[in-house]
Amino acid sequence: MYESIKNFNKQFLYEPETINEENLFKKSNFIVVGMGGSALAPLLLKKYKPEISIMIHNNYGLPQISKKELENSLIILSSYSGNTEEVLDAFQKAKENNLSMAVISVGGKLLSLAKENGIPYIKLPNTGIQPRMALGYSIKAFLKLIGDEDGLKEISKLSEILNPNDYEETGKIFAKKLKNYVPIIYTSSNNLSIVYNWKIKLNETGKIPSFYNVLPELNHNEMTGFDVVDATKELSNKFYFIILKDEEDDERIINRMNILEKLYKDRNLKVEIIEIKGNDIWHKIFSSLVLADWTAYYTALEYEQDPEQVPMVEELKKLITK
């Protein structure tokens, strides 16, 4: 895990190749079927290019939309292992309905099905890392399938300008601060994909409960749960709030963040501000996510846990297959 974070920027050297590309139907609408780490990249694509039409389906089968909408979309089936139950089910449903498909995977049954049926696919490098750590490979594969050559060119620069070592010490410090607390991460709705990645990394790598929300919505509900009174003080004191602040956010959102920080601190709640910074949009996204990786990695070590493996997920899979 340590080495996969340290060398994360090298993933952007990867040049994805589409096999069976002659069968790839050009569409302007995309439906991504993926679970867990395999569904993180399309969320970031929505941040990178908000105007792109991407629906993310984290479930069995296909989304409950009209047949015409399904037929007008490229269905991208993303499963790092190639054996994700929900994604395999979606493949069969899409095949039964003769829908346009493409596959992203390192192998497994999904890749075999793509080969057998002449479905366009991109085979990700099988480096043995966890799906959540293969985000660089995954997002380049998605950019390739949607035909965004400019995006591929831009993101490849991260192999040189993104240095994971720059964020390790800060991540270690954050992990110590978070010890014995449950993190709640806030940001603007524009940065939903980033905050969701933070939450996932703290869950899977850090092995702790972690939650997220976005402004301005949380100002209308969630924050009232932390208006500390004697009867609820013990509950509220278990949380540590991280606010991801982006200088490009609407100034009204930044003002809300500043006021929220004051309101929480006035109630003796723990609050940390983290700036989302970078040379361009990709650098901003992945600088923040590498910091999240280091924070989660050292959080696991603070609790003497293995940052890499996810035993509860494996236990669930075994119980499902019984």
155-183: average pLDDT: 98
Residue carrying the six token digits 């650098």: 283
pLDDT 10s digits, 220-247: 999 999 998 999 999 999 999 999 999 9
Q: Is 215 in contact with 186 (CB distance < 8 Å)? A: yes
Rounded to whole angstroms, the Cα distance separating 31 from 55 reads 5
pLDDT at 147: 93
On the question of pLDDT at 322 being above 80, the answer is: no
pLDDT at 37: 84
pLDDT at 317: 86
On the question of pLDDT at 321 being above 90, the answer is: no
pLDDT at 274: 97
192-213: average pLDDT: 97
Closest to 75 measured CA to CA, from 96, 101, 95: 101
**How much is the pTM?**
0.94
Answer with the residue of higher pLDDT: 229 or 303. Answer: 303
CB atoms near residue 233 (< 10 Å):
11
Pairing status of strand 239-245 against strand 53-57: unpaired
pLDDT 10s digits, 129-158: 988 899 999 999 999 999 999 999 999 999
Residue carrying the six token digits 């970031």: 44
CB atoms near residue 37 (< 10 Å):
24
Task: Enumerate domains of the chain plus CATH numbers.
Answer: 2-157 (3.40.50.10490), 162-302 (3.40.50.10490)
49-57: average pLDDT: 94
Closest to 58 measured CA to CA, from 71, 44, 40: 40
pLDDT at 307: 96
